[in-house]
Amino acid sequence: MSRFVLITPNVEFERRVRSATAGMSGSLQWFQADHLPDGPDEFLSKLLGEPPEVLILGPGLDLDETLKHAAVLDLQYPEISVLLAAEQTPELVLAAMRSGVRDILSPAADTNGIRAMVERSALAAAGRRRGLNPAAESPVGGAGGRVIAVMSPKGGVGKTTIATNIAVGLGKVAPMGVVIVDLDLQFGDVASGLLLDPEHTITEAVTGAASQDSMVLKTYLTLHSAGVYALCGPKNPVDSESITSAHVTNLLKQLRHEFQYVVIDTAPGLGEHVLAALEQATDAVWVCGMDVPSIRGLRTGFHILNELGLMPESRHVVLNMADGRSGLSVPDVEATIGVPVDVAIPRSRTLPFSTNKGVPLLQDGRRDVAAKGLRQLVERFQPNWQERTHRKLHRRAVVQ
């Protein structure tokens, strides 16, 4: 089947699109024409198999006719994502939104930019198909992708380091299908942890048109070199006061329908934004250090959330900076918090160095004792992990 279809008379644009989609699953079929067919069925009848995932309407086509065609396609074949190649103007963005266009692509975009946009549109098409066919939903349950909240009652335990590594690690499993959200709204470090200088932040993404339309929301995301997206925290802590728990709930619902994985770096504690994130989360990664205050804080957090009924079904307890010479053992930690430790990440000099450098350890590719634990954690979120053979779902961690 042709996974991608391109209609344009522009040979140079076709060359860049073909180069961008090379190596991706599926093929590209090109209709070299300066006009559109009377209706979607006319070009779909020339394809083999099921309808494509992404239709790219390239430069050289009449814009009015293109938008009309997109509107018809959106009604008849909502599972197909439409990409429009045109120069953006505020008027065009609004008209495109109303016509069901998924994204607007610059005609001058390079191969990497085209690939990122096509991947994102293909992911949106998959999400729409799941919505149209509930039986095809992912095994994690519920509509949309997996929402992973990285939590800790105490600060300073390496929560952002864990979150950024999860995002980068999952980016290798689902390229362009991962977004990390910085919900530490006052002092979040996702931008520095990924060496990003975002043009937009979460402050803009939760208000206005972005809160109503996912296509607009995606323009506020920052693309990282590892093939994941980031929605960074406010540049000024004062801006966090305008963001409510309702904003957080709506944002996560939008992102869950657009991405396979949504990784949330939460603020320490159990504030209103953290509780809103937990209500949407399919998984909670609980991070604690190998010190008594952190371990006791985790025990208290578990107790409170169990009373509130906000504990996600999928729980992953991570013991960070684990060190057998700290005076505590893994059984001591487990006895205190009342649940098994799933992953132990040994104390490492390389891990904090990679965080300070802005290059997550799983992106850097260095051999390090901490990398093995991080990879084990990422594997827990891969498709069908729970269906694989394990001795126990929550296995005892070992600290040397």
pLDDT in tens, 160-192: 999 999 999 998 888 788 999 999 998 888 999
Q: Which residue in 357, 359, 385 sits closest to 371, CA to CA? A: 359
Given this model, what pLDDT does residue 49 score? Answer: 60
State the average pLDDT for the chain.
84
- Could you tell me which residue, 241 or 47, shows the higher pLDDT? 241
pLDDT in tens, 252-268: 999 998 888 999 999 99
> What does the CA dihedral 226, 247, 282, 258 come to, rounded to 10 degrees?
-50
- Could you tell me which residue, 14 or 76, shows the higher pLDDT? 14
- Rounded-to-integer distance, Cα 352 and Cα 5, Å: 45
Question: Predicted confidence band at 239 (pLDDT cuts at 50, 70, 90)?
Answer: confident
Asked if the model's pLDDT at residue 391 lies above 90, the reply is: no
pLDDT in tens, 19-63: 988 877 678 889 999 988 888 888 788 776 667 889 999 899 999
Q: Where in the chain is the domain with CATH 3.40.50.2300?
A: 2-136
Given this model, what pLDDT does residue 136 score? Answer: 39
Residues contacting residue 300 through CB under 8 Å, at least 6 positions apart:
153
Bridge-based pairing of strands 229-231 and 222-223 is antiparallel
Fold of 146-387: Rossmann fold (3.40.50)
Fold of 2-136: Rossmann fold (3.40.50)
Which pTM was predicted?
Answer: 0.66
Given this model, what pLDDT does residue 3 score? Answer: 80
Q: Where in the chain is the domain with CATH 3.40.50.300?
A: 146-387
Q: Angle at which helices 330-337 and 292-308 pack, to 10 degrees? A: 30
What percentage of the chain carries pLDDT values higher than 90?
A: 29
- At 199, give phi and psi (nearest 5°): -75, -35
Asked if the model's pLDDT at residue 138 lies above 60, the reply is: no
